[in-house]
Amino acid sequence: MPSKIQIAKLQTILDDAAKKAGALKLLEAGCGSSTRLTIPAGTYVVGIDISQSQLDKNDILDEKILGDIQTYPLEEAVFDIIICRDVLEHLSDPEAAVRNFARAIKPGGLIILALPNLRSLKGWITKWSPHWFHVWTYKYIFRRKHAGKAGFAPFKTYMRSSIAPDRLKELGDKLGLNIDYFQLYEGGVLRILRKRIGLMGPLWKVFQFLVKMLSLGRLDAEKTDFVIVFSKPE
- Do residues 180 and 231 touch, judged by C-beta distance below 8 A? yes
Q: What is this structure's pTM?
A: 0.92
The CATH architecture annotation of domain 4-231 reads 3-Layer(aba) Sandwich (3.40)
Residue whose C-alpha is closest to residue 68's, from 46, 51, 83: 51
Amino acid at 125: I
Three-class secondary structure of residue 174 per DSSP: helix
Amino acid at 54: Q
| Residues sharing a CB contact under 8 Å with residue 130, sequence separation 6 or more, in sequence order | none
Q: What is the pLDDT along the chain (234 residues), one digit of tens a residue?
A: 666 778 888 889 888 888 887 789 999 999 998 888 889 889 999 999 999 999 999 999 999 999 999 999 999 999 999 999 999 999 999 999 999 999 999 999 999 999 999 999 999 999 999 999 999 988 888 888 888 888 788 889 999 999 999 999 999 999 999 999 999 999 988 988 899 899 999 999 999 999 999 999 999 999 999 999 999 999
- Do residues 27 and 82 touch, judged by C-beta distance below 8 A? yes
Residue whose C-alpha is closest to residue 3's, from 186, 137, 222: 186
